[in-house]
Amino acid sequence: MIWKTAWKNIWRNKVRSLVVIISITIGIFGGVFAVAVMNGAIEQRVDAALNEEISHIHINDPAFRDNYDMQLLIPDAEKVLSSVEETPGVNAACGRKVISGMANTATKSAGVQIVGIDPEKEKEVLRLNETTMPATGDFFETESRHKLAFIGQELAKELNIIRYRIDQEMLDNLAARGVPVKVLDRLAPFNGKRFKSEKAFKKEMKTVLSMKEQHEYGALIKEEAWSFRTRSKMTLTFLDKDQMQTGAVFRIAGIFDIKNSMFEMSQVLVQNKDLAELTGLAPDAYHQIIVRLDNPDASKEMAASLEKKLPGLEIMSWKEIQPDLAMMIDMISKLYAFFMVIILAALAFGIVNTMLMVVLERTKELGMLTAIGMNKKKVFQMIMLESVFLSLIGGVVGMIFSKIIIGLTSTNGINFSNYAEGLEAMGFTSHIYPVISSSFFITVTVLIIITGILSSIYPALKALKLDPAEALRTE
């Protein structure tokens, strides 16, 4: 009866209750959705980092990372590798040579890290091959008499291997793809022009195209203007094992695009056999072994157990390799907490405020109920239930709403491409798929209930303080 009465009581003032419920819903949704977006971004970032950039565990000489000294090889690398591969929980592992060098084209040069890999084995640990840009080649799959290098999009741009150009062919293609003559006319003055970078190209486009045209045809124009010369070349120079300058011309095997400008800029993958030949290092000499685990969350424990097995080597889990990633995950969970605290505080204020109003409005009625024998416990319970119902409805509706919206957006993702440059510079993709763990979901729901209960206490206590004789006399 108390439950039923409390339930009916909240619908007395429908407008007020709905306003409270809707604000709770919006608050919860806003908070949960924001968290889901951040969480999605981070998860994608971590996934990308683990799957494409670093894998789960690195093994190398303890001093190797100080200045990438070429002499600091892993002793008995093949043996270490097979011992790692046999360890339960290890999915795959492979060895790499890692040396510093310069990449040069006719016009440009850049400092890079040259990584010598066995493409077939590398693919089992990292999936950088899957990020090959269309029409730029492949991950060392096409046989070639030449030495091959697999490089990042940013480096390709920097070295003018990728560029933007407007020529007759490109304009014809655009016409064929339905770009109106009006727009083509604007582009005509640029016929025959090459742009040094994407930025320079975009800047010029902005001067001739309206916002609307940029929005409608920008992507198409960019795609057609983008040009990659197959069989592009670059020279890699570095020191050999005797500290002598060496180098060779490498053809571009393919270009990868991973939304992490830094990594794209610095990593050049070449085949181990080529690097062995040029440096004079043995083919089975490795500076680094990278390891993929069955469960990335167990990386710390696995690193510790490998450390016991392989004394004298530095074994690092991905959290140590990229402390900024680990820190980000840590920081973000604090941010979630902060977000939720704010939302729950708002919820608490809303409930306290509304329920105080309710108690005040119903002074006479509550006085009457005490008079006819409804005891304090029951009065308290009734007011409390009303508060809890309110927060629960708002909370549950908010959570369901969040779940639905997150569900809808998580399949297709949300495109933040307007901010793409900033996000990609930080290693984030601009297309974010919001996700939320069910544990977060459950925690928030429980917290909402607890907050609802806690914030009902004060108004319920107020109701208890009512003196029936006084209450009945009030007008």
Partner 1 sequence: MKILEIKNVHKIYNSSEVKVHAVNGVSLDFEKGEFAAIVGPSGSGKTTLLNMIGGLDTPSDGEIIVDQTNLAGLKSSALIDFRMRNIGFVFQSYNLIPVLTAKENVEFIMSLQKWNKKERDDRTFELLKAVGLEDRINSRPSKLSGGQQQRVAVARALASKPKFVLADEPTANLDSKSTETLLDIMEQLNKEEGITFIFSTHDARVVKKARRVITLEDGKVISDERKN
Rounded to an integer, what distance in angstroms lies between the CA atom of residue 455 and that of residue 352? 6
The two structure tokens encoding residue 386: 């009303």
- Nearer Cβ to partner 1 (177/473): 473
Q: How far is the CB of 467 from partner 1 (least distance, A)?
A: 8
Sequential DSSP letters for 392-433: HHHHHHHHHHHHHHHHHHHHH-EE-GGGHHHHHHTT--SEE-
Closest to partner 1 by CB, 6 vs 291, is: 6
Nearer to partner 1, 17 or 232 (CB): 17
Q: How far is the CB of 463 from partner 1 (least distance, A)?
A: 14
Shortest Å distance, C-beta 454 to partner 1: 24
Distance, CA of 40 to CA of 434 (rounded, Å): 4
Cβ proximity to partner 1: between 11 and 338 the closer is 11
Identify the sign of the CA torsion 263, 264, 268, 272: positive
Q: Any residues with CB less than 8 A from the CB of 230 and at least 6 apart, and which?
A: 137
The owner of tokens 């996000």 is 423
Distance CA 72, CA 60 (A): 8
Residues that bind partner 1 (CB under 8 A): 1-2, 4-5, 8-9, 11-12, 364-365, 368-376, 378, 468-469, 472-473
When the beta carbons of 208 and 464 are compared against partner 1, the nearer one is 464
Amino acid (1-letter code) at residue 18: L
> What is the sign, positive or negative, of the torsion defined by CA atoms of 183, 186, 188, 194?
negative
Q: Which amino acid is at 264?
A: E
Which residues fall within 8 angstroms of residue 273, CB to CB, at 6 or more apart? 283
Nearer to partner 1, 113 or 363 (CB): 363
Q: Which amino acid makes up residue 149? A: A
Specify the residue, 375 or 417, whose C-beta has the smaller distance to partner 1: 375
Shortest Cβ distance from residue 342 to partner 1 (Å)? 34
CA distance 236 to 109: 9
Could you tell me the smallest distance in angstroms from the CB atom of residue 350 to partner 1?
22
- Shortest spacing between CB 367 and partner 1, in angstroms: 8
- Residue 297 Cβ vs partner 1, minimum distance, rounded to whole Å: 52
Terminal-residue alpha carbon distance, the chain: 28
Among candidates 35, 79, 48, 81, which has minimal Cα distance to 296?
48
* Nearest distance, CB of residue 8 and partner 1, angstroms: 4
Alpha-carbon gap, residue 240 to 343, rounded angstroms:
60
Cβ closest to partner 1, residue 135 vs residue 371: 371
Structure tokens at 217: 């045809």
